[in-house]
Amino acid sequence: MIEFVENLPDGWTIYLWLVVAAFILIAAGFMLRWAAKNDQFDEDIKYVLFDNDDQDKMEPDEFKKYQEVMKDQTKSRKEFIKKKQDRSN
């Protein structure tokens, strides 16, 4: 194997780097696709950290947004659990 590598013409390593770069780009594309399908780009996820005791720390419109997000998250969680149970049956 060492002889094979030593006998390669100059400049062969760029092709190796090109193959590795292509693999990285393809993997990144698959990861972005997965993230988009699984709602990983949801900007409202920050509201999940709060609870009803934080109302005095938030503006009224922020608190309304928090309540809407939590309602949507609860609905999404119930749908996920239902789908998981349907798959296991």
How much is the pLDDT for 51?
A: 86
- Number of domain units in the chain: 2
In this structure, the number of other CB atoms found within 10 A of the CB of residue 65 comes to: 16
Do 74 and 55 share a structural domain?
yes
Do 49 and 13 share a structural domain?
no
Using CB atoms within 10 A of its CB, is residue 53 exposed (0-12), middle (13-18) or buried (19+)? exposed
Measured distance CA(88)–CA(17) in Å, rounded = 44
Give me the tens of pLDDT residue by residue for the chain, a chain 89 residues long.
888 878 878 888 899 999 999 999 999 999 999 999 987 887 887 888 888 888 898 899 999 999 999 999 899 899 989 999 998 87
Query: What domain range is 35 assigned to?
Result: 1-41
Do 31 and 8 share a structural domain?
yes
Structure tokens at 86: 């349907």
How much is the pLDDT for 61?
A: 92
Do 48 and 35 share a structural domain?
no
Whether 47 contacts 31, CB under 8 Å: no
How much is the pLDDT for 75?
A: 93
DSSP assignment letter at 32: H
